Amino acid sequence: MKKQKLMEKQRFYYDKGFLGSKSGRPIRILSEYLSPLSSFKHNKIESTVVFFGSARIKNEENTSINRYYKKAQELAYIITKWNIKNFEGKKYVITSGAGPGIMEAANRGATQARGNTVGLGISLPFEQTNNKWITKGLNFVFHYFFMRKFWFMYLTKGIVVWPGGVGTLDELFEILTLIQTKKIKRNIPIVLFGKEFWEGLIDWDRLVQNEVISKEDLNLFIILDDINETFEYLKNNMDK
């Protein structure tokens, strides 16, 4: 028995030193693809709706920006109820970046609707733990941002981008770039939620006037400010 345990420790896939080394990086990257893939198959998840947004937005009413927490929670609830009723909970599963703020609101709303919900977290140098509203078995922590982004994009049928900072804008422009360059060929409706926040934040018309984007690129997203309107837009434009 002792000999067997010793032999097991000598196997390469038990060698934490090797797996954590530069040479072991391809295996770490592959694990961040295969492990979520296995979990999605096990939970019979066919597609997702991704919520991007700030981790700093709180479940409070003391500032105008915080009102988006309840709105994200409500929209996640509505989408999840619709998913359960029409698709047995397999499609349009609410997915977030697993952190606090808008991410927590998304997972919370889906859980309160009694549906599965996915959290794609990221390990960071400062403390951030995945929120408690994520479904067991669908709660991930990635090391590589690009693998996390891959899973945001790979299964999604629709995206709602809530007010946020650098990370949220990075995620928005990543998906816009992939669609604009035809790396993603399927139709993905993108809603920028919150006119007060989004209108004027980016001067899209100036980008068109300077001919650095085409006028048609403005059709890649829509800015909305109403929960029911957003739900209807997603429902009518997501691939079935």
| Residues 160/75, Cβ–Cβ less than 8 Å | yes
Handedness of CA 213, 215, 219, 221 (dihedral sign): positive
Average pLDDT over the chain, rounded to whole?
93
Residue count of the chain, please give it.
240
Question: In the prediction, which pLDDT does 64 show?
Answer: 84
* Whether residues 97 and 6 fall in one domain: no
Confidence of residue 127 (pLDDT cuts 50, 70, 90): low
Phi, psi of 122 (to 5 degrees): -140, 140
* Whether residues 81 and 60 fall in one domain: yes
Phi, psi of 232 (to 5 degrees): -65, -40
Q: Which residue has the higher pLDDT, 208 or 5?
A: 208
Question: ∠ CA(154), CA(214), CA(240), 5° rounding?
Answer: 35
Confidence check: pLDDT of 131 > 80: yes
* Whether residues 24 and 53 fall in one domain: no
* Whether residues 35 and 53 fall in one domain: no
| Residues 139/151, Cβ–Cβ less than 8 Å | no
Rounded Cα distance, 46 and 40, in Å? 8
| Residues 7/122, Cβ–Cβ less than 8 Å | no
* Whether residues 107 and 128 fall in one domain: yes
* Whether residues 36 and 114 fall in one domain: no
pLDDT tens-digit map of 51-74: 999 999 999 876 789 999 999 999
* Whether residues 188 and 203 fall in one domain: yes
HSE, CB side, 13 Å, CA atoms: give it for residue 161: 26
Overall average pLDDT of the 179-187 stretch = 94
- For the CA atoms of 84, 100, 129, 117, the dihedral, rounded to the nearest 10 degrees, stands at 10
* Whether residues 1 and 116 fall in one domain: no
| Residues 131/98, Cβ–Cβ less than 8 Å | yes
Confidence check: pLDDT of 104 > 90: yes
* Whether residues 85 and 203 fall in one domain: yes
* Whether residues 18 and 99 fall in one domain: no
* Whether residues 189 and 206 fall in one domain: yes
Rounded Cα distance, 59 and 105, in Å? 8
Q: Could you tell me what percent of the chain has a pLDDT over 70?
A: 95
Listed residue (25, 48, 42, 66) closest to 119, CA to CA: 48
**Domain interval for residue 12:** 1-42
State the CATH number of the domain containing residue 186. 3.40.50.450
Question: In the prediction, which pLDDT does 7 show?
Answer: 53
* Whether residues 130 and 167 fall in one domain: yes
Q: What's the total number of domains in the chain?
A: 2
